Homo-oligomer: A and B are copies of this chain.
Amino acid sequence: MAHMLEFWFEFGSTYSYLTAMRIEDAAGARGVTVRWRPFLLGPVFAAQGWDTSPFNIHKAKGEYMWRDMARRAERYGLPFQRLPATGPGAFPQNGLAAARIALIGLDEGWGEEFARGVYSAEFAAGHDIADPVLLQRLAREAGATGDVLSRAQTQANKDRLKSNVDEAFRRGIFGAPSFMVDGELYWGDDRLADALDAAAA
């Protein structure tokens, strides 16, 4: 399908924040439509034998990531704060509940705004995005009606997110953000421009 890009994101991922906040403007300028695809990195990391983010396992790489994120966020004009290593809101945060809600929101037209709200709450404000009160508020602000938390917990909706994770494995996705354009994988916020070039071609 021409001029379409899939944006695979995980709510706990720092670099996905950079992409989520700017992809609509960047894609719009190129005439590219974005399909937002929430998934989870936990199962991907577990398949490598990791029980947390590789940025926590490899100290030097982790220290670099936080510095690089601060510089990149500044370059993009995005507020950003380093998350704590332990305690509430520690990195990586649990994006499971947010991802389940996002799936519903993307069906109903408020998912992208919700996703940006979640990322801002996490990386600009330092809130814990596993907090159901926070998620309910962000969903309402994005346009959700009714008890979205309960709707997100149905077995059918849980299965949909699991199916996204399975699809990510099948398609060779191993990190976030990732982009798929005509079967080609692009990994990392750094590759957004390349992916948009491919989608716009």
A interface list, Cβ under 8 A from B: 48, 58, 60-61, 63-64, 67-68, 71, 75, 172-175, 184-188, 190-191, 194
Bound form: Cα–Cα A7–B113 in Å: 41
* Chain B residues within 8 Å of A172, by CB: 60, 63-64
> What are 6 A-to-B residue pairs whose CB atoms are below 8 Å?
A48-B58, A61-B174, A63-B172, A68-B186, A68-B191, A188-B190
A143–B40 CA distance with the chains assembled, in angstroms:
53
Interface centre among A48, A63, A64, A172 (most CB of B within 10 A): A64
The CA-CA distance from A134 to B187 in the complex, in Å, is 35
Tallying the copies of this chain within the complex gives 2
- Nearest chain-B residue to A190 (Cβ)? B190
Q: How far is the CB of A185 from chain B (nearest CB, A)?
A: 6
Please give the distance in Å from A123's CB to the nearest CB on chain B.
20
The answer to whether B64 touches A194 (Cβ under 8 A) is no
Across the interface, A174 reaches (CB within 8 A) one of B64, B175, B184, namely: B64
A143 CB to closest chain B CB (Å) equals 36
Residue from A60, A63, A71, A194 having most chain B Cβ neighbours under 10 A: A60
Please measure, in the bound complex, the distance between the C-alpha atom of A21 and the C-alpha atom of B185, giving whole angstroms.
Answer: 25
Bound Cα distance A71, B188 (Å): 15
Contact B173 A60 (CB under 8 A): yes
Q: How far is the CA of A64 from the CA of B173 in the complex (A)?
A: 9
Q: Which residues of B contact A48 (CB under 8 A)?
A: 58
Complex contact A194–B71 (CB within 8 A):
yes
CB distance from A8 to the nearest CB of B (A): 13
Residues A187 and B58 in contact in the complex (CB < 8 Å), given A71-B194, A194-B71: no
Q: How far, in Å, is A6 (CB) from chain B's closest CB?
A: 15
Smallest CB separation, A146 vs chain B (Å): 39
